[in-house]
A and B are shown apart, each in its own frame.
Chain A
Amino acid sequence: MAMSNSPAAATRPARWGGFTSRKLAPYLFLAPFVLLFIAFIVAPLVYAFYMSLYRDTLVGGRHFAGAASYIKVAGDAKFWGGVWNLVLFGIVQVPIMLGLALLFAIVLDRGQVYAKGVFRLGFFLPYAVPSVISTIIWGYLYGPNFGPFTQIAKAFNLPPPDFLSPGAMIFSLANIVTWEYVGYNMVIYYAALMAIPSDLAEAARMDGASPWQFARLIQLPLLWPAILLTIIFSINGTLQLFNEPYLMRALAGNTINSSYTPNLYAYSLATQNQQYGYAAAVSFVLGIVIAGASYIFTLITNRRRPEQ
């Protein structure tokens, strides 16, 4: 009887059970994700790394090469040329895209805009269009002989613009990517703006802050984490550019070659050159470049974070 009287004994099984289920439950919920993550991200990564240590040759087949492929990537002008193309691309495109997104978000956040929902949806809609489709549409618009811009220029007897020339290509691609992703970034900023407590706006107004001062001194600092996030996303997205140049190649074969971007290069290496190991090494080095760029950026911004 003593046993059953003891509260500890009575509750023990229940607590024990509660303890285990509480401990297991999160893993149970996480399991579907973890399993898919392992199957589709971790396992291919491990396999790709394994492959990158081997070299495939048409004569002699596959043999172990150690770090040889990585050493080769380090001095591969095609790979670094592609990275350089994207650095130029990013320096032009990312500030324009994020600047526009910020502007749209702040304007929409102000009360004075009519049909706010229409604009919000309108800005966001391009993001809902698959990048393959948007590139095909823009490719048509850019058409050097029969595209609408050329037709308009001809109607006014102006020289038609050549959006697909080697000099203009990077801007033409930047324009497509900006069109696609402004809305996406705008929604992130807009959500962050909505989260700013309204008493801050009220207080600022009472202290006589102009809308510009409110945006610069209150909204911008509070948006900083969201801006950082979008910049990291953009660095990632930029260095992995593939769909747009891949499809544009059909229209601008003289400008976009098989190593125009690092991803395009890795794709050509694997699918056309049958250099699977080297393609894997290129992909890994690209991953390291992206991680490095993101890390350096975070370091710099942490040091220069505006005081809140």
Chain B
Amino acid sequence: MTKIFNPLGRMMQRRDFLKVAGASVAVAALPATVRGAEPVKVVLWSWVPDLQLQVDMFNAAHPGIRVELVNAGQGKPEYQAVRAGLQAGSGLPDVVQIEYQLLETFRQVDAFADIGPYANAHKGEFPEGLWTQVAKSDVVNGMPQDYGPMAMLYHKDIFDKHGITPPITWAEFADAGKKIHAADPNVFITDAPFGANADWVLGLLWPMGWKPVSRDGDKLAININDKIAKDFAAYWQDLITAGIVETKPGFNNEWYTGLDSGRYATWLAAGWGPLFLTSVAKTSVGKWRAADLPQWDASKFATGAWGGSALAVMKTTQHLPEAAEVAIWLNTNPEATKLYTTKQNFFPCTNALLSSPQWAGDKPDFFGGQEVNKVFAKSASAVAPFEWSPFQDFLYQSMSDEFGASLGGKGTLSDAFDRIQDAVVAYAKEQGFTVV
């Protein structure tokens, strides 16, 4: 269909649209706007590259809605803009990209509308653990767009050289590390960026059942330095003290070279990791493989997640049904969501894609033809629910500061957990919470 104004074409689009719309609860409120001359404008803030492609698909399928895509920065800068808008009470978008880890933080300042009435029908289309990230019982504050279930990527060449098979448990992981490092002091089993990447640390604490901050209204139970954290700290402190892991910050050129050149034998990565690694490790094509995340208890397979984000609808929107439809359609439409896995290289969220032969059966050369996506899809189904704190960026900041201080000589990781506990309790009280 041409872009030139064509009354008949518009009619047909409308009719098609109504047909499609019939399936969705969201559309209950739509006909009024469809009949109106002007389509409803919905502003969407997202940093996802090439999202315009999916937005164009949406606009073509919804003549009554016009989505305007704005890139307000990736992560932090966008959150700053959202917070500025919340403070000012204006300038906010209708739909906004938010990482799962920050949803609770923005819920705390009452940023989001409840899209449950429109979204709950789609609950079964996503893995259970993932749905708990965006929904609390029937209240839904976001639609999952991409995901980061954790697994292990490893240098098969290094493992083979030292006669090691992928470790099933963390104890085996440590043994493998000792063996490799003893044979070659320039190789480390992994890099553990405690001082810089707190979200990675949290992803590893997650499968252990760590509950740093649990809330009941304005009452918070803060258990950051509990037994789980102490066990975790003791394990990693041993590896650090023994010198078989490095603790350099991730995501810089030094680190990429470290992975590529085989200074680090493994990367404890998330679902988006395989394609990310492919883009930063250019010379180690074919040497990498994926395996399950090492386990604390081999009989109970559990994993965590690291990263991923959702589309949420702002409470201030004047067009709740339309905005909800944008968030839902962009993350449930089969064509649009499939395009994320091919164009944006996202790790998919929908069950349909996670089990699709095309995606799950992909055999990239970088991983020697292994079906790596299947490893991460298995992890996706084993991610337990996790309760985020209502001030997640403060928690992360305290973790980075205190882990960093410990690695810089101020005590052990275990001491760091004690200091984080103190800092977070003080902050929570100052913020008006009752700490129980």
> Would B432 and A60 count as touching, CB distance under 8 A?
yes
As a 0/1 sequence over residues 156 to 191 of chain A, the CB contacts with chain B under 8 angstroms (1 = contact) are: 000000000110000000000000000000000000
CB proximity of A273 to chain B, nearest CB, Å: 5
A58 at the interface (CB under 8 A from B): yes
CB-nearest residue of chain B to A154: B186
Pairs across A and B, CB under 8 Å, 13 listed = A57-B430, A58-B390, A59-B218, A139-B252, A145-B257, A146-B253, A252-B249, A254-B195, A254-B407, A254-B408, A271-B76, A271-B80, A273-B397
Q: Assuming the A-B contacts A252-B249, A272-B397, are A58 and B431 also in contact, with contact meaning beta carbons closer than 8 angstroms in the complex? A: yes
As a 0/1 sequence over residues 235 to 269 of chain A, the CB contacts with chain B under 8 angstroms (1 = contact) are: 00000000000000111111111110000000010
The 5 closest A-B pairs by CB, nearest first: A253-B196, A59-B432, A254-B195, A253-B195, A272-B393
Surface stretch bound by A, among B269-277, B290-298, B329-337, B398-406 = B398-406
A122 at the interface (CB under 8 A from B): no
Q: How far is the CA of A271 from the CA of B393 in the complex (A)?
A: 9
B248 at the interface (CB under 8 A from A): yes
Q: Assuming the A-B contacts A143-B254, A271-B76, are A250 and B196 also in contact, with contact meaning beta carbons closer than 8 angstroms in the complex? A: yes
Count: A-B pairs, CB below 8 Å: 93
Q: Which residues of B contact A59 (CB under 8 A)?
A: 218, 431-433
A95 at the interface (CB under 8 A from B): no
> Would B401 and A145 count as touching, CB distance under 8 A?
no
A274 at the interface (CB under 8 A from B): yes
In chain A, positions 91-134 with a C-beta closer than 8 Å to chain B are none
* Interface residue total, chain A, C-beta cutoff 8 A: 30
> Would A145 and B248 count as touching, CB distance under 8 A?
yes
In chain A, positions 21-66 with a C-beta closer than 8 Å to chain B are 57-60
> Would A166 and B409 count as touching, CB distance under 8 A?
yes
CB-nearest residue of chain A to B260: A146
A17 at the interface (CB under 8 A from B): no
A79 at the interface (CB under 8 A from B): no
Q: How far is the CA of A139 from the CA of B249 in the complex (A)?
A: 13
> Would B394 and A272 count as touching, CB distance under 8 A?
yes
As a 0/1 sequence over residues 46 to 88 of chain B, the CB contacts with chain A under 8 angstroms (1 = contact) are: 0000000000000000000000000000001001100100010
Q: Assuming the A-B contacts A58-B108, A58-B432, A59-B432, are A145 and B76 also in contact, with contact meaning beta carbons closer than 8 angstroms in the complex? A: no
A140 at the interface (CB under 8 A from B): yes
> Would B253 and A274 count as touching, CB distance under 8 A?
no
A147 at the interface (CB under 8 A from B): yes
Which residue in A140, A250, A268 is a CB contact (below 8 Å) of B397? A268
Q: Which residues of A contact B404 (CB under 8 A)?
A: 253-257
Chain A contacts to B: CB under 8 angstroms: 57-60, 139-140, 143-147, 165-166, 249-259, 268, 271-274, 276
Q: How far is the CA of A255 from the CA of B427 in the complex (A)?
A: 23
CB proximity of B213 to chain A, nearest CB, Å: 12
> Would B401 and A254 count as touching, CB distance under 8 A?
no
> Would B401 and A257 count as touching, CB distance under 8 A?
yes
B109 at the interface (CB under 8 A from A): yes
CB proximity of A267 to chain B, nearest CB, Å: 10
Q: Which residues of A contact B87 (CB under 8 A)?
A: 276
Q: How far is the CA of A303 from the CA of B13 in the complex (A)?
A: 83
B131 at the interface (CB under 8 A from A): no
Q: How far is the CA of A257 from the CA of B396 in the complex (A)?
A: 12
Q: Which residues of B contact A259 (CB under 8 A)?
A: 401
> Would B257 and A258 count as touching, CB distance under 8 A?
no
> Would B252 and A58 count as touching, CB distance under 8 A?
no
Q: How far is the CA of A59 from the CA of B219 in the complex (A)?
A: 10
CB-nearest residue of chain A to B400: A253
As a 0/1 sequence over residues 304 to 340 of chain B, the CB contacts with chain A under 8 angstroms (1 = contact) are: 0000000000000000000000000000000000000
> Would B249 and A258 count as touching, CB distance under 8 A?
no
Q: Which residues of B contact A274 (CB under 8 A)?
A: 83, 109, 391, 394
Q: Which residues of B contact A144 (CB under 8 A)?
A: 248, 254
B148 at the interface (CB under 8 A from A): no
CB-nearest residue of chain B to A268: B397
CB proximity of A147 to chain B, nearest CB, Å: 7
CB-nearest residue of chain B to A169: B408
B263 at the interface (CB under 8 A from A): yes
CB proximity of A173 to chain B, nearest CB, Å: 15
CB-nearest residue of chain B to A260: B401
B258 at the interface (CB under 8 A from A): yes
Q: Which residues of A contact B254 (CB under 8 A)?
A: 143-147, 251
In chain B, positions 233-251 with a C-beta closer than 8 Å to chain A are 247-249, 251
> Would A253 and B193 count as touching, CB distance under 8 A?
yes
CB proximity of A274 to chain B, nearest CB, Å: 7
CB-nearest residue of chain B to A271: B80
Q: How far is the CA of A257 from the CA of B394 in the complex (A)?
A: 13
> Would A250 and B401 count as touching, CB distance under 8 A?
no
Q: Which residues of B contact A256 (CB under 8 A)?
A: 404
Of B80, B218, B257, B394, the most chain A CB neighbours within 10 A belong to: B394
CB proximity of A162 to chain B, nearest CB, Å: 11
CB proximity of A148 to chain B, nearest CB, Å: 12
Q: Which residues of B contact A60 (CB under 8 A)?
A: 432
CB proximity of B81 to chain A, nearest CB, Å: 11
Which residue in B109, B247, B253, B257 is a CB contact (below 8 Å) of A254? B247
> Would A250 and B252 count as touching, CB distance under 8 A?
yes
CB proximity of A129 to chain B, nearest CB, Å: 19
> Would A166 and B431 count as touching, CB distance under 8 A?
no
Q: Which residues of A contact B430 (CB under 8 A)?
A: 57
Q: Which residues of B contact A146 (CB under 8 A)?
A: 253-254, 257-258, 261
In chain B, positions 194-215 with a C-beta closer than 8 Å to chain A are 194-197
Q: Which residues of A contact B247 (CB under 8 A)?
A: 254
Q: Which residues of A contact B252 (CB under 8 A)?
A: 139, 250-251
Q: How far is the CA of A273 from the CA of B401 in the complex (A)?
A: 14
> Would A258 and B401 count as touching, CB distance under 8 A?
yes
> Would A250 and B249 count as touching, CB distance under 8 A?
yes
> Would A251 and B249 count as touching, CB distance under 8 A?
yes
Q: Which residues of A contact B194 (CB under 8 A)?
A: 254
As a 0/1 sequence over residues 139 to 179 of chain B, the CB contacts with chain A under 8 angstroms (1 = contact) are: 00000000000000000000000000000000000000000
CB proximity of B246 to chain A, nearest CB, Å: 8
CB proximity of A220 to chain B, nearest CB, Å: 42
> Would A145 and B390 count as touching, CB distance under 8 A?
no
CB proximity of A137 to chain B, nearest CB, Å: 11
Which residue in B76, B253, B258, B263 is a CB contact (below 8 Å) of A140? B253
Q: Which residues of B contact A252 (CB under 8 A)?
A: 249
CB proximity of B252 to chain A, nearest CB, Å: 6
Q: Which residues of A contact B258 (CB under 8 A)?
A: 145-146
Q: Which residues of A contact B393 (CB under 8 A)?
A: 271-273
